[in-house]
């Protein structure tokens, strides 16, 4: 059947408005029925998934490698304070499999090394979000990750040059990784139709858990091998470099610029979206954004998530070691189990979310609130429950694994909600929320360290878990009340024309006044 596209049809299709300016092209197929099993958008999605996995590999590999880098005998206290609430500490247990490294870095220096990456990462969030809106996201993401990967090769040599050189190297790696989230969001907004965003978005961001699941065990194996800890950075640096080159070669900014995309898929994407991010560059409505309750709901949910997630990621091994005398690091599978659960659940729940949307029974607002509630109320309850499990090691591990697993719901909740409320400015919105969320995440280890310093007891650790669980529950409640799945009025492309006409009228009036004055 021959169909002629028009402006009215584009702007009202399924209630969405596109990322491309309407055209008057004529084509001889129904794009809503011809999506294909594997199209160019799926290749883009898969490459973004691998990029997210690579980004999290670069974040987490140092936390494992540093165990093999440090000379633990040189920094061990003469009279270590051991908590015995859950049984006496076995002083005769064999030494760590990884042995001792060559650097006598105290705990505070190790914390600086681990956090230096994130300081660089936070710095570039907002700038790259704004730049990607103006110049496109592709090259910022690809080149940034290439810099991150190349500097991974320099980690071993910088460590031998000196402590400051290592901090600088990790900081630059963080700078390079800064574009990953805002630029990924910007590309998803241009490539993924609204009814596929839950599934595709969750798949892409689930790369974070996939990367963690791969990084933790493999980093341990490499550190224990004859090549020792430097091989961790060489192997993952090589993988990241290859991905960056392939990404720049085979991924394109949007469907319009892709030379090999089928006409059918191109029209399907254009038919599903409205308001072209690549064709126009409207001014960013800062005032409307900062006064938007749905935006604040996303921001608060994001900040609370990062605080709770960083509590789990950074402090759980210490809790198991100091209180339960059960080191998760001794078993790579057990260390990765919570993140494996999160990865699997995030994929499952994303299909549930898209089914809810395509069924026509639920609005985007309802779907985002329900799925995000699972993703944040779940870990909140699990963390609070874990504070009262006492010395039951396996019950604690089980609760936290379930909690982290349910946390996967956020990828079909607030994490893709930026794309719902503002597809044209999604990258910028994500840059702001991700920047502030990472700052909130940095507070988690600081608070935990303050609470358990000198007294790593069940009671003190319980306070850490209850605080994180409470944060999850509070932010989930705020999101459930104020969030929206509807595109906001300040992202309406029609307003661009009105604004431009108003400006032109004002400029014309001013010009007339000037001419009269001169006469």
pLDDT tens for residues 253-279? 888 888 888 888 888 888 877 544 444
Which pLDDT score is estimated for 81? 53
Residue 230 clears pLDDT 70, i.e. is over it: yes
Spatial distance between the Cα atoms of 115 and 111, rounded to a whole number of angstroms:
6
Per residue in 455-468, pLDDT tens? 767 888 888 899 99
**Beta-sheet strands, E only, within 342-419:** none
CA atoms within 13 A on the CB side of 104: 5
Per residue in 434-452, pLDDT tens? 889 988 887 877 787 777 7
Spatial distance between the Cα atoms of 129 and 182, rounded to a whole number of angstroms:
5
| Number of C-beta neighbours around residue 329 at 10 A | 18
Which pLDDT score is estimated for 151? 95
Q: 160: closest CA among 99, 233, 211? A: 233
Which residues make beta-bridge pairs with 18? 274
The residue ranking higher by pLDDT, 329 or 216, is 216
Phi, psi of 153 (to 5 degrees): -65, -25
Residue 89 clears pLDDT 70, i.e. is over it: no
Which residues make beta-bridge pairs with 449? none
Which pLDDT score is estimated for 127? 85
Which residues make beta-bridge pairs with 70? 103
| Number of C-beta neighbours around residue 180 at 10 A | 28
pLDDT band with cut points at 50, 70 and 90 for residue 406: very high
pLDDT band with cut points at 50, 70 and 90 for residue 495: low
> Which homologous superfamily is 39-77+102-266 in?
MFS general substrate transporter like domains (1.20.1250.20)
Exposure string of 406-440, with b = 16+ CB inside 10 Å and e = fewer, is bbbbbbbbbbbbbbbbbbbbbbbbbbbbbbbbbbb
Of 70-79, 182-191, 243-252, 388-397, minimum mean pLDDT range: 70-79
Q: Which run of H or of E encompasses 152? A: helix 138-152
pLDDT band with cut points at 50, 70 and 90 for residue 280: low
Residue 85 in tokens: 């609430």
Residues with Cβ within 8 Å of 502's Cβ and at least 6 positions away in sequence, in order, are none
Of 26-35, 156-165, 297-306, 504-513, minimum mean pLDDT range: 26-35
Spatial distance between the Cα atoms of 236 and 152, rounded to a whole number of angstroms:
8
Q: What is the CA radius of gyration of the chain?
A: 25
Per residue in 318-364, pLDDT tens? 676 667 665 545 545 666 788 889 888 988 998 898 899 888 899 99
Average pLDDT estimate for 48-77: 80
pLDDT band with cut points at 50, 70 and 90 for residue 381: very high
Q: Which CATH number is associated with domain 285-507?
A: 1.20.1250.20
Which pLDDT score is estimated for 189? 82
Please give the distance of CA 87 from its chain centroid, rounded to a whole number: 39
Residue 509 in tokens: 């009036």
Of 38-42, 474-478, 481-485, minimum mean pLDDT range: 38-42
The residue ranking higher by pLDDT, 282 or 121, is 121
CA terminus-to-terminus distance, the chain: 62
Q: If DSSP codes are grouped into helix, strand and coil, which group holds residue 18?
A: strand
Q: Are 61 and 219 in contact (CB under 8 A)?
A: yes
Q: 202: closest CA among 365, 440, 39, 375? A: 375
The residue ranking higher by pLDDT, 43 or 225, is 43
Residue 356 in tokens: 């809810």
Residue 389 clears pLDDT 60, i.e. is over it: yes
Average pLDDT estimate for 378-403: 88
Which pLDDT score is estimated for 218? 84
Q: Where in the chain is the domain with CATH 1.20.1250.20?
A: 39-77+102-266, 285-507
Which residues make beta-bridge pairs with 103? 70
Residue 98 clears pLDDT 50, i.e. is over it: no
Per residue in 165-188, pLDDT tens? 999 999 999 999 988 888 898 888
| Number of C-beta neighbours around residue 211 at 10 A | 26
Mean residue pLDDT across the chain: 78
Q: 272: closest CA among 129, 423, 494? A: 423
Spatial distance between the Cα atoms of 258 and 44, rounded to a whole number of angstroms:
11
Residue 46 to residues 52, 254, 335, 379, 411: CA-CA distances in angstroms? 10, 15, 26, 28, 16
Residue 8 clears pLDDT 60, i.e. is over it: no
| Number of C-beta neighbours around residue 493 at 10 A | 20
CA dihedral 155, 159, 160, 164 (to 10 degrees): 120
The residue ranking higher by pLDDT, 507 or 7, is 507
Per residue in 283-331, pLDDT tens? 888 899 999 999 999 999 999 999 998 887 766 656 766 676 655 455 4
Spatial distance between the Cα atoms of 132 and 138, rounded to a whole number of angstroms:
8
Residue 141 clears pLDDT 80, i.e. is over it: yes
Which pLDDT score is estimated for 92? 38
Spatial distance between the Cα atoms of 313 and 310, rounded to a whole number of angstroms:
5
The residue ranking higher by pLDDT, 193 or 492, is 193
Exposure string of 41-58, with b = 16+ CB inside 10 Å and e = fewer, is bbbbbbbbbbbbbbbbbb
Of 7-21, 56-70, 96-110, 237-251, minimum mean pLDDT range: 7-21
Which pLDDT score is estimated for 507? 54
Which pLDDT score is estimated for 26? 39
Of 70-74, 241-245, 373-377, minimum mean pLDDT range: 70-74
Largest interatomic CA distance in the chain? 99
Q: Taking the complete model, does pTM exceed 0.75, yes or no?
A: no
Residue 471 clears pLDDT 90, i.e. is over it: yes
Q: Are 405 and 338 in contact (CB under 8 A)?
A: yes
Residue 303 in tokens: 């900040």
Which pLDDT score is estimated for 38? 79
Q: Could you tell me whether strands 26-27 and 3-4 are parallel, antiparallel, or unpaired per DSSP bridges?
A: antiparallel
Residue 228 clears pLDDT 90, i.e. is over it: no
């Amino acid at each position: 059947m021959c169909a002629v596209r028009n402006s009215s049809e584009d702007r009202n299709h399924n209630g969405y408005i596109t990322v491309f300016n309407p055209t008057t092209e004529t084509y001889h197929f129904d794009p809503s029925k011809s999506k294909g099993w594997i199209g160019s958008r799926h290749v883009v999605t898969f490459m973004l998934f691998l990029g997210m996995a690579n980004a999290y590999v670069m974040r987490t590999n140092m936390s494992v490698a540093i165990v093999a880098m440090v000379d633990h005998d040189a920094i061990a206290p003469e009279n270590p304070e051991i908590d015995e609430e859950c049984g006496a500490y076995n002083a005769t247990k064999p030494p760590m499999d990884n042995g001792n490294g060559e650097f006598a870095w105290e705990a505070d220096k190790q914390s600086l090394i681990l956090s230096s990456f994130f300081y660089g990462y936070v710095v570039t969030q907002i700038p790259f979000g704004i730049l990607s809106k103006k110049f496109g996201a592709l090259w910022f993401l690809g080149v940034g990750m290439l810099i991150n990967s190349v500097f991974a090769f320099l980690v071993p040599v910088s460590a031998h040059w000196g402590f400051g050189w290592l901090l600088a190297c990790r900081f630059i790696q963080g700078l390079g990784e800064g574009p990953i989230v805002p630029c990924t969001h910007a590309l998803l907004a241009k490539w993924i139709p609204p009814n596929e965003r839950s599934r595709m978005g969750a798949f892409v961001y689930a790369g974070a858990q996939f990367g963690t699941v791969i990084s933790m065990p493999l980093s341990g194996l490499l550190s224990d091998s004859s090549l020792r800890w430097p091989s961790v950075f060489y192997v993952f640096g090589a993988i990241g470099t290859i991905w960056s080159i392939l990404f720049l070669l085979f991924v394109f900014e949007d469907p319009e610029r892709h030379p090999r995309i089928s006409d059918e898929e191109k029209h399907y994407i254009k038919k599903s979206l409205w308001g072209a991010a690549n064709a126009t560059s409207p001014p960013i409505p800062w005032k409307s954004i900062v006064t938007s309750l749905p935006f604040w709901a996303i921001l608060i949910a994001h900040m609370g998530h990062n605080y709770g997630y960083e509590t789990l990621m950074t402090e759980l091994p210490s809790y198991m070691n100091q209180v339960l005398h059960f080191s998760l690091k001794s078993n790579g599978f057990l260390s990765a189990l919570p993140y494996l659960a999160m990865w699997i659940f995030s994929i499952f729940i994303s299909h549930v979310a898209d089914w809810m949307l395509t069924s026509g029974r639920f609005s985007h607002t309802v779907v985002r609130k329900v799925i995000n509630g699972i993703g944040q109320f779940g870990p909140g309850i699990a963390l609070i429950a874990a504070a009262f499990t006492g010395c039951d090691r396996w019950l604690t591990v089980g609760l936290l694994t379930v909690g982290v697993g349910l946390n996967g719901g956020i990828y079909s909740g607030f994490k893709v909600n930026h794309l719902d409320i503002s597809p044209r400015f999604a990258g910028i919105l994500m840059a702001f929320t991700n920047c502030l969320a990472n700052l909130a995440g940095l507070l988690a280890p600081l608070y935990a360290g303050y609470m358990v310093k000198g007294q790593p007891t069940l009671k003190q650790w319980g306070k850490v878990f209850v605080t994180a669980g409470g944060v999850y529950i509070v932010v989930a409640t705020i999101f459930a009340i104020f969030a929206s799945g509807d595109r906001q009025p300040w992202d309406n492309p029609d307003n661009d024309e009105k604004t431009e006409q108003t400006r032109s009228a004002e400029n014309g009036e001013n010009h007339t006044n000037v001419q009269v004055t001169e006469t």
